[in-house]
Amino acid sequence: MKPKVLCTHLSLFVSNLEASARWYADVLGMRESARSESWIMMSFDDRLHDIGLIQATEGAHQGGLGLQHYGLEVEGDIDTLKALHDMLVDKGVEVVRITDHEIGNGVYFNDPDGNRLEFFLQTELDPMLAQERFTATNAPSRDIEFKQLS
């Protein structure tokens, strides 16, 4: 029997633990769920931890290998995604790109250490149709633009 594996959390090395925790709370609305001297666990709602922030060693810097992005799936519609985009812009967060993935749309942005995150809104809700479209179109990532709503 093949075990079911779920993605449960992401841990990131950060340059400034306290500043990163404030950014994740302010920008993403996360709450601190646990901490030690060298790490802070951040959560959405009632989960134990969704993103772990770990103090990097002094002098550490982002490299060319490793995490490309972490997707945060959102519920709602395209207006929800546009509102999240506007919130990022209003908070001065670098929006890297906005994409159409055929079965959903994504807004990619960076945290203070350059870790890339994505707000992802799935627009094709039928799992079989989504898989067919995603496969048939070779998992596209077409750039699109949002006009700021606010």
pLDDT per residue as tens digits for the range 68-98? 899 999 999 999 999 999 999 999 999 999 9
Looking at the structure, tell me whether residues 82 and 101 fall in a common domain. yes
Would residue 20 count as lying in a domain?
Answer: yes
The reply to whether 148 and 105 lie within a common domain is: yes
Indicate which CATH number applies to the domain containing 43. 3.10.180.10
Mean predicted confidence (pLDDT) in 10-22: 95
Report yes or no on 64 lying in a domain. Answer: no
**What whole-number distance in Å separates Cα of residue 88 and Cα of residue 1?**
43
At 59-74, the pLDDT tens digits run 888 877 688 899 999 9
User: How many domains is the chain built from?
Assistant: 2
Strand bridging mode 70-73 / 95-100? unpaired
Do 53 and 83 fall within a single domain? no
| Residues of the domain holding 28 | 7-58
Helices (H), strands (E): how many in the chain?
3, 9
Token couple for 48: 């134990």
The per-residue pLDDT for range 104-134, each reduced to its tens digit, is: 999 999 999 999 999 999 999 999 998 998 8
